[in-house]
Chain A
Amino acid sequence: GAVVSQHPSWVICKSGTSVKIECRSLDFQATTMFWYRQFPKQSLMLMATSNEGSKATYEQGVEKDKFLINHASLTLSTLTVTSAHPEDSSFYICSARSGEQLGTQYFGPGTRLLVL
């Protein structure tokens, strides 16, 4: 089946620094990628949807200048948490969908971010 990877799997950073998380589709071309955030014992909350070569569409309440998303190729999307603060600590999950598999999202294993 389709595989989506994320890197890093976990990261610890100091408050005020920026952190980049990569999401890659390993064996298919992802025309659309999604970024989710998950708090402990809570549901996945969609942050933004990105289509290759165009600007991401952010959900209401998500700061686009805080969470920068780049989907520069059909196999890679990045999420950069800028000037991270402790409240940004969370589990970030990406998913990818190809144009040929419109109905299915394939999920990455997630990245755990801890901001000190």
Chain B
Amino acid sequence: GNSVTQMEGPVTLSEEAFLTINCTYTATGYPSLFWYVQYPGEGLQLLLKATKADDKGSNKGFEATYRKETTSFHLEKGSVQVSDSAVYFCALSKGRTGAGGTSYGKLTFGQGTILTVHP
């Protein structure tokens, strides 16, 4: 079956440090890959996604590249801020593309990585 493995946290960084959160996956076929972020007291929000090999998703300074050869989708940010402190979830989904666009099936999540950024 499908599975997602994230690096264990928590991750603690100083402001302006470089961030990497590793994510690898196991899936049949060609899943779509996602990073979700959960800020304290809020629901999960989609941070970025990539739907095919070598795609790079990016948002708010975060990037992740879909690497099929290594089955990875590592999240990176060049300079983190205190406001980036949150829980980050890697996820995958199998999608179907039809006339109306792409429909994604159920999401399979990694265990989440807590990031704390200090001033």
A residues whose Cβ falls under 8 Å from a Cβ of B? 4, 6, 34, 41-44, 46, 49, 93, 95, 102-110
Contact = CB atoms under 8 A, between A and B. Distances in A.
B107 A105 contact: yes
A20 to B, nearest CB: 19
A113 B113 CA distance: 22
Contacts of B45: 107
Contacts of B112: 41-43
Contact of A46 (B102, B104, B106): B106
Nearest to B9: A41
Interface in B90-119: 95, 100-104, 106-112
Given A42-B111, A103-B103, 6 more contacts: A34-B107, A102-B103, A103-B101, A107-B36, A107-B43, A108-B43
Interface residues of B, number: 25
A109 B41 contact: yes
Contacts of B104: 102-105
B43 A109 contact: yes
Contacts of B82: none
Contacts of B95: 103
29 contacts: A6-B43, A41-B111, A42-B111, A43-B4, A43-B89, A43-B111, A44-B89, A46-B106, A46-B108, A49-B106, A93-B44, A95-B44, A102-B100, A102-B101, A102-B102, A102-B103, A102-B104, A103-B49, A103-B95, A103-B102, A103-B103, A103-B104, A104-B104, A105-B104, A105-B107, A107-B36, A108-B43, A109-B42, A110-B43
